[in-house]
A and B are shown apart, each in its own frame.
Chain A
Amino acid sequence: MSILIWKYLDGDCAPEEKEMVQQLLASDAGFVEEMNLAKELQQALTTLEPEEPSMRFAANVAEQLPNLYHPVQANADLLPKGVVQAFGALVGGFGLVCLSLFFVSKQFMQGQFNFFGRYTLDLGVFSNPLVFSVFIFSMGVLSYFFLDFTLKRLFLRK
């Protein structure tokens, strides 16, 4: 019977159990007494106050934090790192392909670079392989950080 009382008070009763409780409450004085005591106990339990630590508790914790502090953000797995890494790899890979094409291209001497026979890029200053390499590398690094920053902002706003 006690199981039924606690299920009823927790709101876990099936409809037929609920009906049984209603019937018992209407006909059984002993059950009513038990239910009232259980209700009072439930009420007392739900209004219990938590224990309080000393006044300096939060300050004590805060004082210990600087010793422990690490840039947690660096460890935070907040981003789908796979996406960022894949993007970085894509940009890096594209740069490498461009560089390779640049070196093998017959147009190397002409200072022009032809994309798929349709688009022509006047290399100008980029005709220097070192400058071109640095440019591609910088683009890759910047893209990586930009994507990381953008995703972080998007993610943290949620």
Chain B
Amino acid sequence: MEEDLLLVHRVLRGEQFAFRAIVEKYQNYVFTIAMRVLNAREEAEEVAQDVFLKVHKMLGSYRQESKFSSWLYAIAYRTAIDNARKKKLPLQSIEAGGAAFQTPDLLSKTPVELTQDNDLRQHVQAVINRLKPSDASIITLYYLNEQSVQEIADITGLSVTNVKTKLHRLREHLRQELTASALDQH
């Protein structure tokens, strides 16, 4: 947090290298948010670049009311969502959009076996990739970008209760998928 603010002030003083440091620190996270929403590498990379150019332009208006990372992720999320809307990609959540998990081909092991190696992580990752963008973003922001429920609410524009409910339902879906795959194996 302190390090981010220092970098921001250095950029505001005109040190372009400081901005490069910000890009290098956050590029993977911003790119991941764009990937979750757009699910296409090239487009996600373009959007991630746009995000950083926007951030550079808007840095003077950063008020420090929230963490720098939350402010950055909010710009990333909105830019990616706007881009998805322009391309008319589906954005609705699992509650509105029906089944979002369709990866039975990846479920080849029982949960016990899955927990013994990295397959579980890969499997979970694959399932997240198949989530609707808004849902995948919530899971990503919570676990990968380590944002609090309140911060996710600020980023996505949802209420805190809504974010909590979605998080619970999404994790429950994931858990049920794993259980179902285990039962299929028996």
Contacts and interface: CB of A to CB of B under 8 A. Distances in A.
Interface string B11-32: 1111010011001100111011
Contacts of A54: 45
B124 A65 contact: no
Contacts of A24: none
Interface stretch (B55-63, B78-86, B89-97, B100-108): B55-63
B115 A62 contact: no
B49 A64 contact: yes
A53 B31 contact: yes
B163 interface: no
A47 B143 CA distance: 8
A52 B61 CA distance: 28
Interface in A62-115: 62, 64-65, 68-73, 75-78
A48 B60 contact: no
Contacts of B27: 53, 57-58, 61
A35 B24 CA distance: 38
Interface stretch (A14-22, A37-45, A118-126, A136-144): A37-45
Given A41-B175, A51-B35, A156 B28 contact: no
A61 B32 contact: no
Contact of B32 (A50, A62, A78): A50
A62 B144 CA distance: 25
Nearest to B129: A51
Contact of A37 (B13, B48, B139, B175): B175
Contacts of A41: 120, 124, 171, 174-175, 178
A100 to B, nearest CB: 39
Binding site secondary structure of chain B: helix
B144 A38 contact: no
B28 A44 contact: no
Given A41-B171, A46-B143, A76 B60 contact: yes
Given A44-B124, A58-B20, A51 B28 contact: yes
B13 A48 contact: no
A58 B12 contact: no
A75 B56 CA distance: 12
B11 A72 contact: yes
Given A45-B124, A48-B125, A156-B13, A2 B175 contact: yes
B59 A72 contact: yes
B146 to A, nearest CB: 9
Contact of A44 (B19, B59, B120, B168): B120
Contacts of A57: 23, 27, 31, 45, 48-49
B143 A45 contact: yes
Interface of A: 2-3, 6, 34, 37-38, 40-42, 44-48, 50-54, 57-58, 60-62, 64-65, 68-73, 75-78, 156
